[in-house]
């Protein structure tokens, strides 16, 4: 069963045609990796799925994105509930300058939950799910800014999980992290894929092969090739894909 269906998607920023005729399906509770050279539209694609591009005045799109049989761009679709359902983890860890607890509780509070016991329970569960609980359980009131970069990124994942999403979008979540922190995030992704549909943008081919089941190769705003990750990396069907994954450009 598919969680997300993208039909004839075209995205423009002003006159610039950024995404061209994207047709793809993202299956439920698996990891899909998006690879491709810088500037080919991976982030833009990701940010179209949780409507973050709505914040950019020159953004315009054609085509549909269907999540659980619903068109997320239909006028009656509530953006706040979409972004609760489709969480996002950014390239640079961006915790709020608040306590660890407040960071994780943020989404719940924003969505109107203020029951203290429930918040505490959710914060604990989310931190456990993000493999961070053991490191922070006795300093939940400390500022999130005092954590290391890798811890901050796991905190951002916990913050997203606390919203009880169905989909998690990750835009190069390890690109600002050291190898050990990167491994921890990858282990975490393996753990999370049973419960969440994960779409991860990565510059790192090894990472794509390690964490994802499916991979889509983007080039100049188009999806050149999508396949099972193993197949795409072992026997790419398109010449361009082969050139990219063998490091001939990008």
Partner 1 sequence: MNINKIIPPKIAQKIMNGLFIASGLLTILILILVLGYVLVKGLPVVNLEFLLADPIDSGRAGGIFPMIISSIYVTAIAGIIATPLGIGAAIYIVEYANANRAVRLIRFGAEILASIPSIVYGLFGLAFFVVFLQFNWSVLSGGLILAIMALPTIFQVSEVTLSSIPSSYREGSYGLGASKWQTIYRVVVPAAIPGIVTGIILGMTRAISEAAAVMFSVGSALQTPISIFDPGRPLPLHLYTLATEGISLDNAYGTAAVLVIIVLVITIGTNLIVDRYQRKMTGG
Ligand X SMILES: Nc1ncnc2c1ncn2[C@@H]1O[C@H](COP(=O)(O)OP(=O)(O)O)[C@@H](O)[C@H]1O
Place of tokens 């407040």: 102
Helix 100-110 vs helix 149-162: angle between axes, to the nearest 10 degrees?
Answer: 30
User: Is residue 81 a contact residue for partner 1 (CB under 8 A)?
Assistant: yes
Place of tokens 């959710």: 122
**In this structure, what token pair is assigned to residue 106?**
């943020």
User: Is residue 90 a contact residue for partner 1 (CB under 8 A)?
Assistant: yes
Supply the minimum distance, in Å, between the C-beta of residue 229 and ligand X: 18
Supply the minimum distance, in Å, between the C-beta of residue 37 and partner 1: 23
Supply the minimum distance, in Å, between the C-beta of residue 49 and ligand X: 12
Supply the minimum distance, in Å, between the C-beta of residue 97 and partner 1: 5
**In this structure, what token pair is assigned to residue 244?**
């990219």
- Is the Cβ–Cβ distance between 59 and 13 less than 8 Å? yes
Nearest to 23 by CA among 44, 8, 2: 8
Kindly indicate which of the ranges 37-45, 121-129, 177-185, 207-215 contains the residues binding ligand X, using the contact rule CB under 6 A: 37-45
**Residue in 55, 69, 75, 117 binding partner 1, rule: CB under 8 A:** 55
- Calculated CA dihedral for residues 97, 109, 189, 180, nearest 10 degrees: 20
What is the pattern of x (binds partner 1, CB under 8 A) and - over residues 24-53? Answer: --------------------------x-x-
Residues that bind ligand X (CB under 6 A): 13, 16, 18, 36, 38-44, 56, 58
């Amino acid at each position: 069963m598919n969680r997300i269906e993208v039909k004839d998607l075209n995205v423009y920023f002003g006159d610039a045609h950024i995404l061209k005729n994207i047709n793809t399906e993202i299956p439920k509770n698996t990891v899909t990796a998006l690879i491709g050279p810088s500037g080919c539209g991976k982030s833009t694609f990701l940010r179209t799925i949780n409507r973050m591009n709505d914040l950019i005045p020159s953004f315009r799109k054609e085509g549909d994105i269907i999540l659980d049989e619903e068109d997320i761009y239909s006028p009656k679709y509530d953006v706040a509930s979409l972004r609760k359902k489709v969480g996002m983890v950014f390239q640079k860890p961006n915790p709020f300058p608040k306590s660890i607890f407040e960071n994780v509780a943020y989404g719940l509070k924003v969505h109107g939950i203020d029951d203290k016991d429930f918040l505490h329970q959710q914060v604990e569960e989310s931190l456990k799910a993000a493999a961070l609980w053991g490191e922070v359980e006795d300093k939940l009131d400390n500022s999130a800014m005092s954590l290391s970069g890798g811890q901050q990124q796991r905190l951002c994942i916990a913050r997203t999980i606390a919203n009880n999403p169905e989909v998690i979008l990750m835009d190069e979540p390890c690109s600002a992290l050291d190898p050990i922190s990167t491994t921890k995030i990858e282990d975490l992704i393996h753990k999370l894929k049973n419960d969440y549909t994960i779409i991860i943008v990565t510059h790192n081919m090894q990472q794509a092969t390690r964490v994802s089941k499916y991979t889509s190769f983007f080039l100049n705003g188009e999806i050149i090739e999508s396949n099972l990750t193993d197949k795409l990396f072992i026997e790419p069907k398109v010449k361009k894909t082969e050139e990219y994954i063998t490091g001939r450009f990008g």
